[in-house]
Amino acid sequence: MTMDKDKLKRMALAVLETEAEAVRDLAARIDDDFVRACGYMLACEGRIVVIGMGKSGHIGNKIAATLASTGSPAFFVHPGEASHGDLGMITAKDVVLALSNSGETDEILTIVPLIKRLDVPLISLTGNPASRLAKESTVHIDVRVAKEACPLGLAPTSSTTAALAMGDAMAIALLEERGFTADDFALSHPGGRLGKRLLLHVSDVMHTGETIPRVAQDAPLSEALVEMSRKGLGMTTVTDATGRLVGVFTDGDLRRVLDHGSIDVQRALIGEYATRGCRTIGPEKLAAEALQMMDAHRINALPVVDTEQRLVGALNMHDLLRAGVV
């Protein structure tokens, strides 16, 4: 099969432009009705129940997931299943968010009287303000589009994009009004990379106790080399008699020492060659801050110290990689 590459590109660009225009047109619909809808969802003591059929159902499912992950408890209910028992999932403390481009979806209209009987707010997103669903709603938000991106005008494309964008606008407006923070987001996404970046602390990933590479400042250089090799962090810390950090000695320091000529590793003391005033981090800091420090200063390992500069741990880039912070 031969392809007309230019035609494919033209069609793709036309779709993107049509859908972008549909989203741009939504700006005029961020009005008092939008604010009222947000008000009902903010005041909701239960959950936001999102319903929709077909492609609108897929969009509704995504909107429910976005709401739930940004501080507005929500879940999706299939309207066809709702009329066969699942309507019991909706309580008098909930708010219903219904999606229907036509506003005439039979499965949704069938359960509207039951929603009304529960006396819960019904918010609808439709492309037809004159539809039955729009008229029956407590608040209606107009998400109509000038045309679908499908050249046949049949496949839901611009309309679903517009509904999704409006749902995102509602979710993020609610997030901001609730004062939802990055830490709150991380708590609902503990298994994801963002959760790890925001929840993991240095103390969670650092080496402690006997696994810390450590030598006394009056130890011979040979002992430091053995410690570096045994602990495998590409460096060793150097401490004084009280356990306070004096400096570090890294693979790079070793290369610089050897570049200066021959040296008696049995007689030379590590304290003479350690890098003093080195970068350190506290155990209470986020692991992501350790990563940022390593990247900014082009180093691969960090000593971890307490407020009195006593050595309590060590970590390197590989520890952060294993923890999923990178």
- Check whether 186 has a pLDDT greater than 60: no
Q: Where are the domains of the chain?
A: 5-180, 202-322
pLDDT exceeds 70 at position 185: no
Strand runs (DSSP E) across the chain, as ranges? 48-52, 74-77, 95-100, 122-126, 139-142, 214-216, 235-239, 245-250, 275-276, 301-305, 311-316
CATH second-level architecture of 5-180? 3-Layer(aba) Sandwich (3.40)
Edge-first strand order for the sheet with 275-276 is 214-216, 235-239, 245-250, 275-276
- Would you say 62 and 185 are in contact if contact means Cβ atoms under 8 Å apart? no
CA 34 to CA 158: how far, in whole Å? Answer: 20
pLDDT at 196: 59
Mean pLDDT of 177-185: 72
- The pLDDT assigned to 131 comes to 97
Residue 199 has pLDDT above 80, yes or no: no
- Tell me how far apart the alpha carbons of residues 89 and 113 are, in angstroms, rounded to a whole number: 16
Residue-by-residue DSSP string for 179-190: T--HHHHHHT-T
User: What are 48-95's pLDDT values in tens digits?
Assistant: 999 999 999 999 999 999 999 888 999 999 988 766 555 678 899 999
Q: State which amino acid sits at residue 122.
A: L
> pLDDT class for 258, splitting at 50, 70, 90?
confident
**Do 5-180 and 202-322 come out as alike in CATH topology?**
no
Architecture (CATH level 2) of domain 202-322 = Roll (3.10)
Q: What share of the chain is helix, strand, coil (3-state, %, to 5)?
A: 50, 20, 35
Residue 76: strand pairing partners? 50
Confidence band, pLDDT 50/70/90 cuts, at residue 222: very high
Take residue 264 and report the two structure tokens written for it.
């008696």
Which segments of 182-286 does DSSP mark as H helices, in order? 182-187, 193-199, 202-205, 221-231, 251-259
Q: How far apart are CA 83 and CA 226, in angstroms?
A: 73
What type of residue sits at position 183?
A: D
pLDDT above 80 (res 180): no
Mean pLDDT of 173-194: 69
**pTM above 0.75?**
no
How far is it, in rounded angstroms, from Cα 279 to Cα 217? 18
277: left (phi over 0), alpha (psi -120 to 50) or beta: left
